[in-house]
Amino acid sequence: MAIVTLTTDIGQQDYIVGAIKGQLLTVDSTFQITDINHYLSQANYPQAAYICKNAFAYFPPNSFHIVILNFFEHSNSHFLIAKHNQQWIICADNGILTMITGEKPKEVIAINIPNSGILSATAIMAKSIQQIINSKYTLSNVGLETNQIVEKYPLRATAGHNWMEGQILFIDNFENVVINISEKEFEEHRQGRAFSIVFKRDEVIGRISNNYASTNEGEKLAWFNSAGYLEIAINKGNIAGLFGLQGYNEKMHQQGAVNQNKWFYQTVRIFFS
């Protein structure tokens, strides 16, 4: 019984997600289908990669992950299937694969599809999953091996001797804000020094908490979340809404919004002393 996850930007207000599940179950009624998220933002690849990467890591080996994000932004003649860290990722050739994996996977194939709608593509995805299983979890004879794929990579924090600057990677349902600075990166640059986490010019957090319970209600806090990333929040509050913090938007960035001073609150700086 293979595990198949669905992560999409489709939403759940119409029939499409249900139809995809029906396609999968028609191919193999024993598939265990799990929803991860159906409300990805088409413009926010870093957010989608954060969600996918950290969810996929908890699945058993040889789980299949269908990711439908901005699938028909361009005319797609194929989709990709890649094996990475004992997981199978199925997605458009639009850069989301390397955003999730952080590198170009060694095993990638391209599967040709008609350019006639998402359900035509997902029907072929379902059959491809069955082929991989029947091939004893190999990509041989399933599709064409390819090394020419669209590559995009996650935002990386920048750093100097006495500072780090990270971008807002994700804002959760409680409006807690995740920054693209890992605990490992933080400690490597900190080297035991005192620090100040600064956002919106004069808002400062000067310590790392173990969890939310270690702070008072209404108090600002910073901690490293279960994914290992720096998170800033207000205990029982909504820090993003209160301080006007916003997540990264790739299309706005490409269109030059950063030059219009609309991106000031997209970054958080850490000063070491």
Residue pair 199/266 in contact by the 8 Å Cβ criterion: no
Q: Name the residue range of residue 192's domain.
A: 158-272
CB count, 10 Å around CB of 167?
A: 20
Is the pTM higher than 0.85? The answer reads yes
pLDDT at 259 (0 to 100): 42
The Cα 267–Cα 262 span in angstroms is: 11
pLDDT at 263 (0 to 100): 37
In the predicted structure, residue 8 carries a pLDDT above the cut 70: yes
pLDDT at 150 (0 to 100): 94
Q: Does residue 153 fall inside a structural domain?
A: no
pLDDT top residue among 154 and 208:
208
> What mean pLDDT, rounded, does the chain reach?
91
Structural domains counted in the chain: 2
Q: Does residue 109 share a domain with residue 180?
A: no
Residue pair 51/40 in contact by the 8 Å Cβ criterion: yes
What are 82's strand-pairing partners? 89, 108
Q: Which of 132-141, 151-160, 227-236, 244-253 has the lowest mean pLDDT?
A: 244-253
Q: What is the CATH number of the domain that holds 70?
A: 3.40.50.10790
Q: Does residue 29 fall inside a structural domain?
A: yes
Q: What is the CATH number of the domain that holds 246?
A: 2.40.30.90
Q: Does residue 151 fall inside a structural domain?
A: no
What are 221's strand-pairing partners? 233
- Cα-based angle 230, 235, 241 (whole degrees, multiple of 5): 80
Q: Does residue 49 share a domain with residue 111?
A: yes
**Predicted confidence band at 251 (pLDDT cuts at 50, 70, 90)?**
very low
Q: What would the pLDDT profile of 41-99 be if each residue is shown by its tens digit?
A: 988 899 999 999 999 999 999 999 999 999 987 767 899 999 999 999 999 999 999 99
Task: Give the CA distances from residue 250 to residues 12, 90, 179, 195, 262, in Å, rounded to whole numbers and listed in that order.
Answer: 24, 22, 16, 30, 13
At residue 266, the 3 state secondary structure works out as helix
- Cα-based angle 20, 83, 152 (whole degrees, multiple of 5): 85
pLDDT at 249 (0 to 100): 59
Q: What contacts 49, CB < 8 A, 6 or more positions away?
A: 96, 99, 100, 154
Q: Does residue 187 fall inside a structural domain?
A: yes
Q: Does residue 55 share a domain with residue 182?
A: no
Closest CA to 86 of 54, 108, 64, 109: 64
Q: Which of 52-56, 141-145, 178-182 has the lowest mean pLDDT?
A: 141-145
